[in-house]
C-alpha cells in the first residue's frame, strides 16, 4: 500500500528521520564491537558497511530529505572507541543539507561537561544522543545533573534511548549490559528537574511503552519516536496514542542502517494513519522539535 501523503514537494523530499547511525565501520565495527555483532547474529542482519552517498540516495528515493546523524561514546562502559564528535561534524559539514548532527558524550568521563560545550560551541552540533544501556549509567542519578543543566543552557535537544536493547543479545550476561538503564522512568526525573531541556525518547520503549506514554503525556518537554521497530511490531497502545493524545509529539525514525527507510515507510503505510497524522509524524513534529 502507498502512503496517501505526498512525500515530495517542489523543494524535494520532506520526511525527516530522527534516528540514523553511520553505515560505516566507525559505528558498525569500532564503536559497535562484539555487542553489535551479537545483535546482528540474532536478527540475521549483516554488518556490511556502505557510503554516505548511497545512504543519502536511498533516503532521497524514499521521500526522506533530512536525517539526524547520531554520535556514540560508550567507551568507559564497553571499552569500544567512540564515534568521535569531530567525525560527526565532518560528515555533517560534507552533507549539510541532509544531515543534522547530534554529538555524544560519555557521562562516565570526567570531561563530559566540557565536551558537551565543545560539541555545540565549536562543532555546531545540534543536539545530543545518549544510549544509557551501552553507556552504563542512570540518567536520574544526581551526579549527572551538571551535564543536563549544561545541555539545557546550550538550548539543544537531547535523544535518550528508550527500552530494551539488542546489543549483546543472547551473549552470556548480555556482555554485561544492564537493560534497566533503558527504563524511561529514569528520564522522567531529568525532565522534571530540567523543564527547558527538550527530550526525545527514542524507540517504542519495550517493555516500558506505558511508562513512556505516561511521561510523554504528562511532561511538556518530552517527545518520542518510532525508530528501531518495524511498524507492524509496534505496540497497539503506542499507535493509539500516536493517533490521539500524542499526535504532536510522535516522530518518524528508522535506526539506520539496522532498519532502512523503504521497508519502514511501507510498513507505516499499512497502518493506515490519515494524511494529517502522516504529515505530523513524518516531518512536521520533527521540524518543530529540531527547529529545522
- Measured CA to CA, the distance from residue 191 to residue 171 in angstroms comes to 33
Nine-digit cell string for 252: 518518524
CA distances from 276 to 75, 93, 110, 236 (A): 42, 33, 46, 20
CB of 203 to Zn ion, least distance (A): 8
CB of 129 to Zn ion, least distance (A): 8
- Measured CA to CA, the distance from residue 186 to residue 100 in angstroms comes to 26
- The residues of the shown chain that bind Zn ion, judged by CB under 5 A, are 255
User: Is the CB of 27 or the CB of 241 nearer to Zn ion?
Assistant: 27
Nine-digit cell string for 256: 539506520
CB of 143 to Zn ion, least distance (A): 25
Pairing of strands 64-70, 15-20: parallel
Give which of 97, 100, 105 is closest to 19, Cα–Cα: 100
118 in Cβ contact with 156 (< 8 Å): no
190 in Cβ contact with 219 (< 8 Å): no
User: Is the CB of 69 or the CB of 119 nearer to Zn ion?
Assistant: 69
CB of 255 to Zn ion, least distance (A): 4
User: Is the CB of 36 or the CB of 238 nearer to Zn ion?
Assistant: 36
User: Is the CB of 209 or the CB of 255 nearer to Zn ion?
Assistant: 255
CB of 126 to Zn ion, least distance (A): 17
Residue 154 CA to its chain's centroid (Å): 19
User: Is the CB of 165 or the CB of 278 nearer to Zn ion?
Assistant: 165
CB of 1 to Zn ion, least distance (A): 27
User: Is the CB of 19 or the CB of 144 nearer to Zn ion?
Assistant: 19
Can you tell me which residue has the cell 527538550?
Answer: 198
Amino acid at each position: 500500500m502507498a502512503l496517501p501523503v505526498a512525500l515530495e514537494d517542489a523543494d524535494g523530499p520532506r520526511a525527516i528521520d530522527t534516528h540514523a547511525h553511520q553505515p560505516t565501520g566507525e559505528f558498525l565495527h569500532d564503536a559497535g564491537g562484539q555487542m553489535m555483532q551479537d545483535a546482528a547474529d540474532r536478527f540475521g542482519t549483516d554488518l556490511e558497511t556502505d557510503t554516505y552517498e548511497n545512504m543519502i540516495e536511498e533516503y532521497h528515493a524514499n521521500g526522506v530529505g533530512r536525517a539526524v546523524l547520531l554520535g556514540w561514546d560508550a567507551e568507559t562502559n564497553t571499552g569500544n572507541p567512540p564515534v568521535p564528535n569531530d567525525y560527526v561534524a565532518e560528515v555533517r559539514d560534507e552533507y549539510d543539507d541532509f544531515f543534522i548532527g547530534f554529538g555524544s558524550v560519555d557521562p562516565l568521563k570526567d570531561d563530559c561537561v566540557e565536551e558537551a560545550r565543545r560539541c555545540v560551541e565549536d562543532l555546531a552540533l545540534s543536539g545530543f544522543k545518549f544510549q544509557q544501556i551501552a553507556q552504563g549509567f542512570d540518567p536520574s542519578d544526581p551526579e549527572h545533573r551538571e551535564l543536563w543543566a549544561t545541555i539545557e543552557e546550550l538550548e539543544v535537544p537531547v535523544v535518550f534511548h528508550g527500552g530494551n536493547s539488542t546489543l549483546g543479545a543472547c551473549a552470556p550476561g548480555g556482555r554485561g549490559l544492564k537493560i534497566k538503564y533503558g527504563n524511561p522512568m529514569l528520564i522522567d526525573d531529568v525532565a522534571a528537574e530540567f523543564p527547558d531541556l527538550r527530550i526525545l525518547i527514542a524507540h517504542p520503549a519495550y517493555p516500558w511503552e506505558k511508562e513512556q506514554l505516561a511521561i510523554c503525556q504528562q511532561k511538556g518537554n518530552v517527545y518520542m519516536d518510532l525508530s528501531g521497530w518495524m511498524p507492524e511490531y509496534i505496540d497497539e497502545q503506542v499507535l493509539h496514542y500516536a493517533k490521539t493524545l500524542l499526535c504532536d509529539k510522535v516522530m518518524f525514525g528508522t535506526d539506520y542502517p539496522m532498519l532502512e527507510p523503504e521497508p519502514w515507510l511501507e510498513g507505516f503505510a499499512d497502518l493506515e494513519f490519515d494524511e494529517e497524522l502522516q504529515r505530523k509524524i513524518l516531518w512536521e513534529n520533527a521540524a518543530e522539535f529540531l527547529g529545522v
